[in-house]
Amino acid sequence: MKYKMILIITCLFLLTSCSLFQKEPDPAELYTPTPVPTNTPLPEPVVMITEVPDPTIAAEAFLKSWQDEKYYDMYDQLARVSVDSVSVDYFRTRYNDAAVAMTLKDLSYEITSALTGPNSAQVAFHVTYDTVLAGTIGRDNVMNLVLENGQWKVQWQDTLVMPELENGNRLVMDIQVPTRGTIYDRNGVALAYQTRAYALGVVPAQVQRNYWTNLINEFSRLTGKTPQVITEMMNRAEPTQYLAIGEVTADTMEARYSYLYDYDGVYVTEYNAGRYYTEGGIGVHMIGYVLPISAEEAEDMQRQGYRVDERIGSLGIEAWGQEYLAGKRGASLYIVDAEGNTIERLSRTEAEASYSIYTTYDEQFEYDLQRAVNGLNAAVVVLERDTGRVLGMASAPGFDANLLDFNNYNSFFGGDSLYNNNRPMYNRATQGQYPLGSVFKIIGMAAALETGIYEITDTYECGHYWNELDGIELHDWTLDHEVAPSGTLNLSEALMRSCNPWFYKIGKELYQQIGPDALSNMARAFGLGSLTGIGELEEEPGNVEDPTEVFAAVQLGIGQSTLLVTPLQVARFVAAIGNGGTLYRPQVVEQIVDASGNVVAAFEPEAQGQLPVTPEHIKNIQDAMETVVRNPRGTAYSSFTQTRYEIHAKTGSASTNTGLNSNAWFAGYTNEGLADKPDIAIAVLAEFAGEGADISAPIFRRVIELYFEGQARSLYGWETGIYITRTPSPTPTNTPTPRPTRAPWEITPEEEEEYF
C-alpha cells in the first residue's frame, strides 16, 4: 500500500511539471488570415510510387541459361543468401551431373504462372528433359525469387534441378550394352566380332632349333601369317625375349592346343576380346579399330548414352558405323539417396540388338592383296570400274588391330610396333599424298586434246633433252636409263613411251596459249585436289595448284611441281577413263543388316560427275593406255607378256625431292566384260621403290591374277617363290639354355637375372 501511494504521488508531480513548463501560445500565432485568391493553381501533392519489375523476366533468363547449359550465368542470377550457402562448383556440378546421368540431349521449358509481392515472388514453370536413353521426362516446378537492389534474384535449392533431388538425392542411370555388331566381308565371313581369344607368343631361344620348322608351320596355321613372315619375326627378335606371334580365337586354339603343348618357349594366354579382328585385321585400314573411351571424351560420350568402360570405333568402318554397330542401349533411370539407396525408378527402356555391316570386298582377295605388297611401304586400291565399289584396298606395312586391346597380353609386347617410323596405322591408300609423276600424263593428254592445242596425230621429237625455256635444260627418262631417245612420236605414242619432252611441251603451251589454270582445271575435273567422298574412311584431298610461272606449268605437265594425289583418287579417275567418263563415289560398305536380317541400307552406285572429255578423246586415251602394255615399245610391255587379259594402264615414277628413289606408280583398268567378274581399276603406289615399270607394274599384274584366277601365278623380279623374297633371313647363331616353360610374368627377378 505504501509503494502504491508513492507511485501515485510521483505521477501527479510529473503531470503538474509538464503544465508548469509549457510555453503559453502567442495570440498572433493563433490567427489565420483569409487567403487572397490568385490565378496560380496550387501544386498537386507529391506521391512516391515504386514499380516492381516483372519476376518472369528474371525466371526466363535463368531458365534460358539452363537450356543453353550456361551454368555460370545461372549462378550469377542467384540471391545473396544462395550464393553464401552454395559454391559455384557445387552448383555447376549439380546441374552437369544430372545432365550426364539422364543422358540429356535437350531441355525446354514453359513458365505457367507467377505470384508477385513487394519483395518476393514465385514463378511456376514446366521443364521437359529430352534424353537419349530415358526418353522424354516432364516436371512441374516452382522458383522462388527475392528483390535485391531492384532486381529479382533466384533463391536456389537442389529441387530446381528436378523436384526429386532433395536432401542430397541424385540421378543414376543403369545402362545395358548390347553386343557390338559384327563386320563381315561381302560373303559373310566375320572380320571383326566379340569372342574369347588367346594371345600366342614365343621366346625363340627356348625353342630347340630342330623344332623351329614344325613350330613355325603351326603358328602359320593358327594365325594366318605365312611361314616366311613368322620366320622373319623370330629371326629379328631378341632371342631371349618374349615375341608376340598373334591372336587366335578360342575355338581355333583349343582345337590345336595339343599340337603346341610339348613345345618349350611357347606361351598361350586366354583373354576376353571385346573386339577380335580376324588374322589381325583383313582389310584393317578399312575396318579400323575400337579404343577405350578417353578421359577427355568421357562426359560427352556419357551424354550420348555410353558407359565410360566401353570401347568405341576410332577409325574406318568401326568409326563410321558406330551408330549401327553399337545398337541401342537399354537403361533404367533411378533416384538414389546420398547413401546410394534406390528411392524410385523414373524410367526404363529395353536394349535393342546392334546391326551388322557387310563390306564390299572379299576376305580372301583382300588377304592376298595385303600379301602382294608385304615388305614394302605401299598402297593398292582396287575398284569395280563401273560402280565405284571398293573390291580391295591394302596399305603396307599393315598392323595387328588386336594389339589395341589391352586385355590381350601381346599388347604389352607388340604395341610399340604400331607406332614405328614406317607408320603402319597410316592408310597410304586414302591419306597418303604423293606426287603422281607420269600417270598424270593421262590428264595432260586429255587437256591437250580438249583445248584443241594438239590433235592425236600431231607429232613432236622426243629426244634426251628439252630446251624450250631460256636457261633451262630438262631431260627424258631415256637418258637416265641410258637407252636411245624415243624419236618422233604422235600424241598417242607419247603416252605409250611416257615421253617427258612431249608433256613438257603440253604444259608450256597450255600455260601460254590457254591460261595458267588450263591444266590444273583439268586435273580438278578428274577429281584431284578434293576428297573422293568415300565417307566410310578417312581421306586427304591432295593438292592441285595453278602454276604461277611457266616452269611450274612445265613440271606439272609430267605430274610434278606441287601436285599431290592419293592412290584412291588415281584409281577413281582411271576407272572413269575405262567406263567412258563417269566419276563414281568409292564405297566400302555393301549392306547394313538389322538383327532380324532385314537389309536397312545397301550399296548403290553413286555417280558424282563426268570427265570434261569427249567420247572420241576418251577413246584416244584408252587406246594409248592399251599400247603401254601391249606394244613392244610400251613402258610396261615386259611385265605383261604372259598376261592374256585386256589391260589399259600407265607407268609412273615420281621424284620425291628427298634424295631417295622415286615413288613407283602403276595405274590402269581391265576391259574383259565378264558377267561374273566385273572389270576393275587398280592403282599401285610403292614409296621410294624406283621405277613404276619395275616395281608397281608387277604388283598390278599380281592383283590381276588374284582377281581373275584366285591365285598368284607369276613371280616378282625380287622373289624366288610366290611370296618368298630372294634374300633369306639370317638364322640364329646361338641357342641359350632353355628357360622354364612358364608365362613371362611368372618369372621371378632372380630367374630373370639367371637366364638373361
Of 628, 585, 604, residue with least CA distance to 499: 628
Taking residues 442-468, report their average pLDDT: 97
Predicted local confidence at residue 39, as pLDDT: 53
Mean per-residue pLDDT over the chain, rounded: 90
> Is residue 106's pLDDT more than 50?
yes
Q: Compute the average pLDDT of residues 188-207.
A: 96
Task: Tell me the residue ranges of DSSP E strands in 709-756.
Answer: 719-721, 724-725
What are the residues whose beta carbons fall under 8 Å from the beta carbon of 20, sequence distance 6 or more?
Answer: none
Confidence at residue 742, expressed as pLDDT on a 0 to 100 scale: 32
The predicted model gives 566-574 an average pLDDT of: 98
- Looking at residues 700-707, what average pLDDT do you find? 98
CB neighbours of 7 closer than 8 A, spacing ≥ 6? none
Average pLDDT over residues 729-740: 32
Q: Which three cell numbers stand for residue 754?
A: 639367371
Cell of 621: 586415251
- Banded model confidence at residue 718, pLDDT cuts 50, 70, 90: confident
Which domains does the chain show, CATH number per domain? Answer: 55-166 (3.10.450.100), 183-355 (no CATH), 359-402+632-725 (3.30.450.330), 437-572+579-616 (3.40.710.10)
Tell me the pLDDT band of 747, cut-offs 50, 70 and 90: very low
Lowest-confidence segment of 286-290, 370-374, 526-530, 742-746 by average pLDDT: 742-746
Phi and psi (nearest 5°) for 481?
-95, 5
Confidence tier at 723 by pLDDT (50, 70, 90) = confident
Q: In the prediction, which pLDDT does 226 show?
A: 86
Residue-level pLDDT at 221: 93
Position 745 pLDDT exceeds 90: no
Lowest mean per-residue pLDDT among 47-61, 91-105, 109-123: 47-61
Q: Are 304 and 289 in contact (CB under 8 A)?
A: no
- CA separation for the pair 625, 681 (Å, rounded): 13
The answer to whether residue 3 scores a pLDDT higher than 50 is no
Q: Between β-strands 330-336 and 342-349, what pairing exists: parallel, antiparallel or unpaired? A: antiparallel
Q: Does residue 397 have a cis bond before it (omega within 30 degrees)? A: yes
Of 292 and 3, the structure prediction assigns the larger pLDDT to 292
**What would the grid cell of residue 255 be?**
582345337
Residue 732 has pLDDT above 50, yes or no: no
pLDDT at 738: 31
Instruction: For 221, list phi and psi in degrees, rounded to 5.
Output: -65, -35
- The pLDDT tens digits for 508-520 are 999 999 999 999 9
Whole-angstrom CA distances from 207 to 198, 219, 629 are 20, 13, 49
Question: CA–CA separation, 184 vs 307, rounded Å?
Answer: 26
Q: How many Å from the N-terminal Cα to the C-terminal Cα in the chain?
A: 117
Do residues 568 and 683 touch, judged by C-beta distance below 8 A? Answer: yes
Q: Say if residue 750's pLDDT is above 90.
A: no
**pLDDT for res 26:** 47
- Residue 393's pLDDT is what? 98
Could you report the per-residue pLDDT of 474-507, keeping only the tens digit for each?
A: 999 999 999 999 999 999 999 999 999 999 999 9
How much of the chain is helix, strand and coil, in % rounded to 5? 35, 25, 40
User: What pLDDT score was predicted for residue 327?
Assistant: 95
Residue 663 reports pLDDT greater than 60: yes
Please give the pLDDT value at position 43.
Answer: 53
Mean pLDDT of 707-721: 90
Exposure b/e, 674-711, CB count within 10 A at least 16 = b: eeeebbbbbbbbbbebebbbbbbbbbbbbbbbbbeeee
pLDDT at 52: 80
Q: What is the mean pLDDT of residues 555-570?
A: 97
Whether 333 and 345 have beta carbons less than 8 Å apart is answered as yes
Of 180-194, 218-232, 339-353, 663-677, the range with the lowest mean pLDDT is 218-232
Band of the pLDDT at 755, cuts 50, 70, 90? very low
Q: Residue range 195-209: average pLDDT? A: 94
Nearest to 259 by CA among 217, 230, 223: 217
**Residue 216 reports pLDDT greater than 80:** yes
Q: Which three cell numbers stand for residue 512?
A: 601460254
Q: Give 399-430 pLDDT, tens digit per residue.
A: 999 999 999 999 999 888 888 888 999 999 99
- Across residues 213-225, what is the average pLDDT? 93
Task: Give the predicted TM-score (pTM) of the model.
Answer: 0.85
